[in-house]
């Protein structure tokens, strides 16, 4: 039995070793291998830097200056504003309306800003607030982080992440 198995195996091996005729195909040029790219510079583009805008935001909050001059200087007309509750406002008019509504329904007893914490594409600021929601008459202390993306000297996206609520 072993001999028959060996013969069968050798016949199989022999058939495998026979050269097969190849179909005629056009040869393709070898694909260029894409080697992994190393680190490359990343930034916010021209205009005001993320640090400069972040410092202006902190100064504005800590000195109680109005937001409008800050927005006029450093916010894009196409800015996206995202709240931690999962809502997005697109465009400067929508963002300003959101802020005006919040100011109308809250009394601010105190507000401070820490930072900026600067990165390659923007900055973050930690806000601490003591406010009363005038719709519920509930006073609350809370903290939030604002994360700002900067392109060509303008904030193009702001996102607020809540804590301590």
State how far the Cα of 127 lies from the Cα of 160, in Å rounded to an integer. 10
Looking at residue 109, its pLDDT comes to: 96
- With b for 16 or more beta-carbon neighbours within 10 A and e for fewer, the 56-90 pattern comes to bbbebbeeeeeeeebbeebbbeebbbbbeeeeebe
List domains and CATH numbers for the chain. Answer: 51-163 (3.10.450.50)
Looking at residue 50, its pLDDT comes to: 96
- Each residue's pLDDT tens digit, 129-165: 999 999 999 999 999 999 999 999 999 999 999 985 5
Per-residue pLDDT band at 5 (split at 50, 70, 90): very low
- Each residue's pLDDT tens digit, 79-89: 999 998 899 99
The C-alpha R_g of the chain, in whole angstroms, comes to: 31
């Amino acid at each position: 039995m072993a001999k028959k198995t060996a013969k069968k195996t050798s016949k199989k091996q022999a058939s495998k070793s026979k050269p097969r005729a190849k179909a005629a195909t056009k040869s393709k040029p070898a694909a260029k291998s894409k080697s992994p790219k190393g680190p490359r510079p990343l930034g916010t583009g021209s205009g005001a830097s993320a640090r400069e805008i972040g410092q202006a935001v902190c100064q504005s909050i800590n000195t109680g200056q109005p937001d409008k001059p800050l927005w006029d200087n450093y916010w894009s007309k196409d800015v996206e504003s995202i709240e931690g509750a999962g809502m997005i406002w697109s465009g400067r008019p929508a963002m300003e309306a959101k802020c005006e509504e919040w100011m109308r329904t809250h009394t601010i007893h105190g507000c401070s800003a820490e930072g900026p914490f600067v990165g390659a594409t923007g900055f973050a600021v930690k806000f601490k607030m003591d406010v009363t929601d005038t719709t519920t008459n509930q006073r609350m202390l809370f903290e939030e982080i604002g994360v700002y993306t900067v392109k060509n000297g303008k904030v193009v996206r702001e996102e607020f992440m809540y804590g301590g609520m």
